[in-house]
Amino acid sequence: MSLNEVEPPEVRELLGRALEGVQVPSGGGTEALFARAARVRSRRRGVLAGVVTAVVAGSVVVGPGLLSGGDGGTKDGKPQVTQPPGARTAKAAAFAKLLPAGVGEIREVSMDYVLWKETEFPMSGPVGSYYGSYAVTRDGGVGFIRVLNFTSPKPVAGWSHPCDMPTKEDSGTCSYERLANGDVLEFRKNWTHLAVMQDTRQKWGEYLMVTRYLKKGGTLEVDDTAGFTGRNSLGPLLASPPLTRSQLRELALNPDLLMKSQR
Amino acid sequence: MVRRGADTALHAFVEGRRTALFRSAYLLCGNRDEAEDLVQTALVKVVLGARRHGRLDNLEAYARKTLVNTFIAGRRRFWRREQAYGEVPDVPGELADNDTGLMVRAALAGLTPKQRAVLVLRYWEDLSVAATAELLDMRESTVKSHAARGLAAMRAVVREGGEHV
């Protein structure tokens, strides 16, 4: 095949090669899918009824990330956040207890809403108890911590090739350590994500990320960022990410952040 | 009676098109579990939408559009870090036989979600530029530029793959 003449039929052939060896899900499950649709429909009806009730009561509860802070952003370098943004939830309170003293005020937020004013993308599977995003308000600035569980029945590629993924996302630095139990901790600094970081209307502060690749499969990821300014910002950047690297490492080792099936 | 017939048609559509949608979803996601999730999510939307609007015409296009737009919307989500979490291949011993496949997956992962979507729609689903533009709600010139970028990525695979292609 000529280098400069990859034409549609050949492209299709190449794409087909990417599918080779991929196990297609077995048939069935259609009833489960329709059942899921029915659940979604009944949940929507319930939510609608709830909203109507709340409006009647005159006390509509807004979602995480809607509270205070407004457009935020820096102005003459002076802190503007006087009230921590986000929702004071039981989960946020419990999560705060896992963090070292002095990290800041922890509130739960929806990053989808914060960044794009969109409703949260529903997760289809189970997640850990602390899965979610948290705004960290400290010294008038707002940073974020995110906790994410990914399930997999077997180790993901990063477990065997940390910091060495052929398709790895761009990050300034990456290092890793193998734990005695076989898990791998991968540290990235100043991660940049196409979807997030290339929005020039937002400017991100320092970004730390630890990914714990579990030997038994799946991952735990904790992101730790000094926040962002610009469009939809909730406030000025923190001087540094909420957690230091060693604090972040310690948090990633906390089994409470894992799903039960991951422990 | 009409509803029952509509449900039967929906069932038939879901059962008949699921595998094809999964293949497209896999090319978009590069991950089997996520592709399954994507297909499930898209089909649930299709079922809900078809019932809500009472329309069963052109389910194929509706499903394709829902799948791709759900993928793109999901990729915008902050936590979707698809590239770092690709599974360890099922059969490591067969890697050498499918180096090209791995390289294509890597090349796809290096594209932006919209570029990937264009590549899949244009060259896997075989849609025209106009149909792709309409489905993705973008200008035809944008489709062409995304396609060019995708083709460049494929050319790079050919270049690196040498005799494997």
Kindly report whether the global pTM for this prediction surpasses the value 0.90.
no
Q: Name the residue of chain A whose CA is nearest to B50's CA.
A: A37
The CATH number fitting domain B1-86, selected from 1.10.40, 1.20.5, 1.10.1740, 3.40.50? 1.10.1740
pLDDT on residue A177: 95
**Six-digit token pair at B151?**
């083709």
Which residue do the tokens 């993924």 mark?
A165
Checking DSSP bridges between strand A219-225 and strand A141-150, what pairing results, if any? antiparallel
**Six-digit token pair at A160?**
């065997």
User: How many of the other CB atoms lie within 10 Å of CB of A189?
Assistant: 15
| CA–CA gap between residue B97 and residue A161 (Å, rounded) | 20
**Six-digit token pair at B83?**
């590239």
Checking DSSP bridges between strand A171-178 and strand A184-191, what pairing results, if any? antiparallel
pLDDT on residue B67: 93
pLDDT on residue B159: 72
Residues of B in contact with A42 (CB under 8 A): none
CB contact under 8 A, A155 and B47: no
- Ramachandran area for residue A132 (φ above 0: left; ψ -120 to 50: alpha; else beta): left
List per-residue pLDDT tens for chain A, 263 residues long.
Answer: 443 455 667 889 889 989 988 888 776 677 777 887 777 777 666 544 443 443 333 333 333 333 333 333 333 454 567 788 988 999 999 999 999 999 999 999 988 778 767 666 555 556 789 998 999 999 999 999 999 887 777 887 788 888 875 444 555 688 999 999 999 999 988 766 655 555 667 888 998 999 999 999 888 989 999 999 988 899 999 999 999 999 999 999 999 999 888 88
The ipTM assigned to this model is 0.82
CB contact under 8 A, A156 and B88: yes
Q: Do domains B1-86 and B97-165 have the same CATH topology?
A: no
Q: Name the residue of chain A whose CA is nearest to B87's CA.
A: A156
Q: Give which of B114, B98, B108, B90 is closest to B29, Cα–Cα.
A: B108
B64-100 confidence digits (pLDDT tens): 999 998 888 776 655 544 434 444 443 333 333 467 8
Kindly state the average pLDDT of the residues B15-26.
91
pLDDT on residue B87: 46
B99-150 confidence digits (pLDDT tens): 788 888 888 877 888 889 999 999 999 999 999 999 998 899 999 999 998 8
CB contact under 8 A, A157 and B88: yes
Nearest to B44 among A1, A36, A125 (CB): A36
Which pLDDT band holds residue B26 (cuts at 50, 70, 90)? very high
Q: Where are the domains of chain B?
A: 1-86, 97-165
In the CATH hierarchy, which top-level class contains the domain B97-165? mainly alpha
